[in-house]
Amino acid sequence: MTPASALPPIPAREDDRLAALQRYELLDTPAEPAFDQITRLAAKLLKVPVALISLVDRDRQWFKSRIGLPVQETPRDHAFCAHALESDSLLVVTDARQDERFAGNPLVTGDPNIRFYAGAPLRTADGLALGTICVIDDQPRAALTPEEEEALRDLSAMTMAHIEARRAVGYLHPVTALSNRFRFLADVDALPADATMAEPADFRETAVVIDTAASQQYAELTRVLGQVCADAFEVDCARRIAASLPERTRLYHVSPARFTCILAGHDAADGELASTLHRISTAIRSPFQYQGVPIATSSGIGFVHRSDSPPGGVELLRAATSAAHQSLEEQKPWCAYDEEQDRAAHRAFLLLRSLTEAMGAQDQLHIAYQPKVDLRTDRCIGAEALLRWTHPALGPISPAEFVPLAERTALVRPLTEWVIAAVLGQVSHWRRRGIALPVSINISMLDLGTGDFADRVAAMLDRHGVRADWIDFEVTESALMTDRAEVDRQLHRLRNLGIAVEIDDFGTGQSALSYLKDIPATAVKIDQRFIRSIAAERSDQIMVRSTIELAHDLGYLVVAEGVETAEAYDWLRLHGCDFGQGYLISRPLAPAAFEDWLAAGAFRPAAMSA
């Protein structure tokens, strides 16, 4: 044990010094080339076997960079560098065995057998010493020459300049002063490829992502209460999470309202992981108080074991973030990384990235046309345009998969315009050939929410030479419940242009039937789930018959989709449904096949029944 008289003195501003050391976020971080270059230069200039950048923590000295020394840290009581913290100049020990402060020090009497030491403090602008840059030899040496002293001071200034630059440029979050995403990625990528090489077989590292608010909640918080409130929210979340983590666990602030950390442990201690996740979840669940007002947000926590993730910091963060999203969506306290769900998310991203290219290609997107018939006359009265996509690598992609993805991004507007342009070009071509049938085009709720949609449609009609009554738009019922005022304006504008409007998938949204009286539409389209079993299911019959009667009383035409049997066709005709479409009549057809279908005499239900 080190004699009390030889213990390093405690600096006068020790609490401030330790707080500064934490703010710089150097402790327990991976090696960085810039620091290693400085220690190599120190060893070379001063001709010593050992050079260190030492950070003096509360009870240890930890080496940010080390040349010639195998250990990562030593007790503070043994640290030569701890003696240098209050020194105004260099601390030089020419022969430690002859110095009463160090003669009994275990670092002198045992490994690494320190005889010579010279260290220069790493001092902040306000005078706080974080540690030293030092050189060590296992042989006694004479005092440093003035040139060597100057070199060591220069190396100290160089190290401190890099520490300051590291903090100022790109590695710390400006609001919480925590390490940011770039620091996290650098730290993960600096970890050994086989992190378990020197650890027990059951040792593993786990990345945890904590979303303290859903993205729309954070955006609303910023919009309503301002950035000052949002910043205070993030600082409060950082404080709560940090208090919930095991000692010496580094917390990163990687994006708005999102934090991450790396937990190290053993398979046998999965209960410890669950306990940590429970503490975090409990800490961030209580409302944030801002000027006396409690603000509650949704939170999600996701984790992934490093060994279960693709290599690299980017992939590790993405995998843990995917699990956090799942936690948010499923309203679970936390979720583990799900490789199958992650593959689905990766496929979704691939599709979105490919969709832009598809809109510019000649052979990927195309339109199929499904005939609509008059149930009283069995004659074709129009067609619905249905978007199809054949991906060059993935093959046919269902619109039920890629259209909802597009609706969640800015791609929905150019995609809708692509469809409208393609249909208008085909309608113009058919009219020149004497095929005078209106074509229905599906539009998104986001299209109706933009203030210039109807104006853009009018311009496209003029450009293609197509009359407004040659097309109509099908709009899902749910669209009418989002931004109602703008939707109504756009629907009325379309009707004033002369374009008919159908309410698609009627009966599946959230609006009451009484809402029909306010909709500026011309027809309702009963969803196929009510039609497929209508010949046998009494409940479907009651709902469809009531819908037909109510729609007719309000002046709407009624279209049934999903007509697949002659029995359903006959039932719908008997109960006054106006139009029908479905596989019984025809599958969606390419333009040339649609023309052939018309030329063949179109649909003959009697033949189908036979």
What pLDDT score was predicted for residue 603? 63
Question: 40 versus 362: which is more confidently predicted?
Answer: 40
Average pLDDT, integer, range 217-221: 89
| Rounded CA Rg of the chain | 36
Give pLDDT tens digits for 243-286.
999 988 999 999 999 999 999 875 545 688 899 999 999 999 88
Beta bridge partners of residue 484, listed in sequence order? none
Predicted confidence (pLDDT) at residue 323 exceeds the cutoff of 90: yes
Average pLDDT, integer, range 449-474: 94
Predicted confidence (pLDDT) at residue 3 exceeds the cutoff of 60: no
What pLDDT score was predicted for residue 1? 46
What pLDDT score was predicted for residue 200? 52
What pLDDT score was predicted for residue 512? 46
What pLDDT score was predicted for residue 266? 55
Predicted confidence (pLDDT) at residue 313 exceeds the cutoff of 90: no
What pLDDT score was predicted for residue 291? 84
Average pLDDT, integer, range 73-78: 93
Average per-residue pLDDT in the chain?
88
Which long-range CB contacts under 8 A does 268-276 form with residues at least 24 apart? Answer: 268/202, 273/206, 273/303, 276/208, 276/244, 276/245, 276/246
Please tell me the distance from the alpha carbon of residue 559 to that of residue 502, in angstroms, as a whole number. 9
Nearest alpha-carbon partner for 57 in 77, 39, 42: 77
Q: Where does residue 200 rank: exposed (0-12), middle (13-18), buried (19+ CB within 10 A)?
A: exposed
Q: How many CB atoms lie within 10 A of CB 265?
A: 18
What pLDDT score was predicted for residue 515? 58
CA torsion angle 26 28 34 38 (round to 10): 90
Predicted confidence (pLDDT) at residue 4 exceeds the cutoff of 70: no
What pLDDT score was predicted for residue 483? 64
The pLDDT confidence band at residue 349, using thresholds 50, 70 and 90, is confident
Predicted confidence (pLDDT) at residue 575 exceeds the cutoff of 80: yes
Give pLDDT tens digits for 89-116.
899 999 999 999 999 999 999 988 999 9
Predicted confidence (pLDDT) at residue 511 exceeds the cutoff of 50: no
Please tell me the distance from the alpha carbon of residue 538 to that of residue 213, in angstroms, as a whole number. 46
Cβ atoms of residues 523 and 553 within 8 Å:
no
Average pLDDT, integer, range 476-493: 73
List the single range of 442-451, 497-506, 557-566 with lowest mean pLDDT.
Answer: 442-451
SS3 state of residue 369: strand
Predicted confidence (pLDDT) at residue 2 exceeds the cutoff of 60: no
List the single range of 376-380, 524-528, 600-604 with lowest mean pLDDT.
Answer: 600-604
The pLDDT confidence band at residue 582, using thresholds 50, 70 and 90, is very high
Give pLDDT tens digits for 378-397.
999 999 999 999 999 999 99
Cβ atoms of residues 108 and 99 within 8 Å:
no
Give pLDDT tens digits for 156-206.
999 999 988 877 666 778 889 888 898 898 888 877 665 444 445 556 789
- Token couple for 137: 């030899």
SS3 state of residue 367: strand
- Asked, as a colleague might, if the bond just before 112 is cis with ω within 30 of 0, I would say yes
The dihedral built from the CA positions of residue 73, 54, 242 and 16, taken in this order, carries a sign that is positive
The pLDDT confidence band at residue 518, using thresholds 50, 70 and 90, is low
Predicted confidence (pLDDT) at residue 458 exceeds the cutoff of 80: yes
Proportion of the chain above pLDDT 70, given as a percent: 91
Work out the widest C-alpha separation in the chain, in whole angstroms: 114
- Find the angle CA(409)-CA(410)-CA(415) to the nearest 5 degrees: 100
What pLDDT score was predicted for residue 203? 64
Give pLDDT tens digits for 117-156.
999 999 988 889 999 999 999 999 999 999 999 999 999 9
Question: 31 versus 140: which is more confidently predicted?
Answer: 140
What pLDDT score was predicted for residue 204? 77
pTM of the model: 0.61
Q: How far is CA 455 from CA 441, 449, 450, 451, 459, in A?
A: 16, 13, 10, 9, 6
Predicted confidence (pLDDT) at residue 509 exceeds the cutoff of 60: no
Three-class DSSP labels, 456-491: HHHHHHHHHCCCHHHEEEEEEHHHHHCCHHHHHHHH
Q: How many CB atoms lie within 10 A of CB 194?
A: 9
Average pLDDT, integer, range 460-474: 96
